[in-house]
Amino acid sequence: MMRALRAEWGKTFSLLSPLLCLVGTVVLVLVTAASLGNDFVHDIGTGDRPAQATMRAIDALGPAVQFGLLTLAAFAMVLITAEYSSGSIRSTFQAQPRRAVVLAGKTVVGVVVGFLSGCATAGLGLAAATLALAGHAAPLAETPVVTMLRVGAVFAAAVVLLVAIGAILRHSVGTLCVGVVLLVGMLALPSSVSVWTPAGGAARFIVASDADYPSLVGLLVVTAWAAATYAIASVQLARRDA
């Protein structure tokens, strides 16, 4: 397994596209969070909101992170679908015919990178939102470190989900479409349904909302979807012709 991790780590960073997706995610979240904070302040300036109104930076970060899940999905997808589109999956399976090890190697690398970039993204996003809100930032209920861990965990689970979808579909565009629907699009569903989707679970867990269920359940929802998809991917990968 250590060999698979070394190999997949090297592969991930010997291409530009995964790195671009990660940088894109950080920038997207940062800009969106700052822009939401700035909109709030702007509303106060125009008199649409009272002068003493405050906003929690986390409320700007939540939607921004959900937005960032789009580019994170692209990062996770590239880990596996690039192998199929280039044909290099055949070389990989020759070097490691135990396909479960290959899938696990890719997933673990993705999870580590996803978690770390989630933490970094959340920290920077919170800072950007707080700066944009200037004096109108309400105190946070949780320390920034906890929020960073929350976003890191969501990113990690989202990576597992996307790598698994990629292994099942073996197609970039298809994988991205399904990923976007699951991680973001399902927010459009009625709340009673969307709370049980990855998008709804992630949204509630990131902002620590206990309105529908304890926020930790939100993470469990995302993780359960990811685990189920991963199980299907493992079985498919083992049975199918490469």
Partner 1 sequence: MICFDAVTKHYGATTALDAVTVQVRSGHVTGLLGPNGAGKSTAMRLLLGLDRPTRGRVTIDGIPYARLPRPLQTVGAHLDARSYHPRRSARAHLLALARYAGIPSRRVDEVIELVGLESVARRRAGSFSLGMGQRLGIAAALLGDPAVLVLDEPMNGLDTDGVRWIRLLLKEFASEGRTVLVSSHLMAEMHQTVDRVIVMGKGRLLADCSTDELVSSVSDVVVLRTPDVAAAPGLTRALDRAGMSVAETSPGELEITGGTPARIGDAAFDEGMRVHSLSVTPATLEEGYLRLVEDAFEFRRADAPSASGGPEGASR
Contacts with partner 1 by CB under 8 A lie at: 3-4, 6-8, 10-11, 14-17, 82-83, 86-88, 90-98, 239, 241-242
Name the one residue in this structure whose structure tokens are 């998809």: 229
* For partner 1, the closer CB: 92 or 130: 92
Rounded-to-integer distance, Cα 150 and Cα 158, Å: 12
* For partner 1, the closer CB: 46 or 239: 239
Shortest Å distance, C-beta 165 to partner 1 = 20
Determine the residue type at 108.
Answer: V
Determine the residue type at 31.
Answer: V
* For partner 1, the closer CB: 5 or 31: 5
* For partner 1, the closer CB: 95 or 228: 95
Query: Do 16 and 48 touch, CB atoms closer than 8 A?
Result: no
Q: Please, what is the Cα angle at 102 between 116 and 230, to 5 degrees?
A: 70
Shortest Å distance, C-beta 182 to partner 1 = 26
Q: Provide the 10 A C-beta neighbour count for residue 152.
A: 21
Shortest Å distance, C-beta 12 to partner 1 = 10
Rounded-to-integer distance, Cα 221 and Cα 218, Å: 5
Q: Is 143 helix (H, G, I), strand (E, B) or coil?
A: coil
Shortest Å distance, C-beta 98 to partner 1 = 7
